[in-house]
Amino acid sequence: MASTSDIRNGLCIRFNHDIYQIKEFLHVKPGKGAAFVRTKLKSLTSGKVLDNTFPSGAKIEEVRVETREYQFLYKDGQGMHFMNNETFEQTFLDEQMIDNADLLKEGVSVKILFDSETEKPLTVELPNVVVLEITYTEPGIKGDTATNTLKPATMETGAEIRVPLFCNEGDKIKIKSDDRSYQERVKE
């Protein structure tokens, strides 16, 4: 058993008969009253995010997880197929388990978190930045870079991303996988 002093981002805990990952936390010591820890928890089974406050010193049940490197192979009717980079063993996961699954391109390496006790996959962590090609967007206007205006663009995986006006079809761009934001164009 751990306590609230062990809370950190990415820690997996068992709470309310489910496994949650701590996304954000804040230790609060008010001028009057006892200290507490305000957290933002994400369920690894349903994907729901909830806010919870733990009193300072409260016991929490830590879940041991293992992170393994996998390569995304393809998507079909059963789900998304991945291959272990060390053992070449294949596994498939439901698309709902993966945040921003439409940003995954074949051949991309991801990290899959497994519950150490049950060997059950919990969640998939995409790389921080993915490079995708724009397959459709309205034509850009040369010299129109003074404003921060964005337009919709369809990527090669089918994902919809907002890009600056100067981006055109065929451009490869870097996208942050956590918030789906445009980073920069990739130079060939």
pLDDT given at position 125: 87
- 58 and 71 housed in the same domain: no
Tell me what pLDDT residue 146 has: 63
Q: Please identify, among 62, 83, 102, the residue that sits at the C-terminal boundary of a domain.
A: 62
Which CATH number covers residue 75?
A: 2.40.50.140
- Are 47 and 89 in the same domain? no
**Whole-number mean pLDDT of the chain?**
87
Domain coverage including residue 104 = 65-125
CB atoms under 10 Å from CB of 166, counted, come to 14
- This prediction's pTM: 0.77
Domain identity same for 50 and 76: no
| Domain co-membership, 74 together with 34 | no
pLDDT at site 148: 75
Q: Percentage of the chain with pLDDT > 90?
A: 32
CA-CA distance, 97 to 94, in Å (whole number)? 6
The answer to whether the CB of 43 falls within 8 A of the CB of 17 is no
Number of domains in the chain: 3
Give me the half-sphere count of Cα atoms (radius 13 Å) on the Cβ side of residue 174: 10
Q: What is the pLDDT of residues 102-144, one digit of tens each?
A: 889 999 999 998 888 888 888 888 899 999 999 998 886 666 6
Do 55 and 72 have their domain in common?
A: no
**Residue segments in the chain with a per-residue pLDDT below the cut of 50:** none
Boundary (domain end) residue, out of 62, 80, 100: 62
What distance separates the 2 farthest-apart alpha carbons in the chain?
Answer: 60
Q: Which residues contact 26 (CB under 8 A, 6 or more apart)?
A: 37, 38, 39
Indicate whether 57 and 78 sit together in one domain: no
C-alpha–C-alpha distance, residues 167 and 184, integer Å: 10
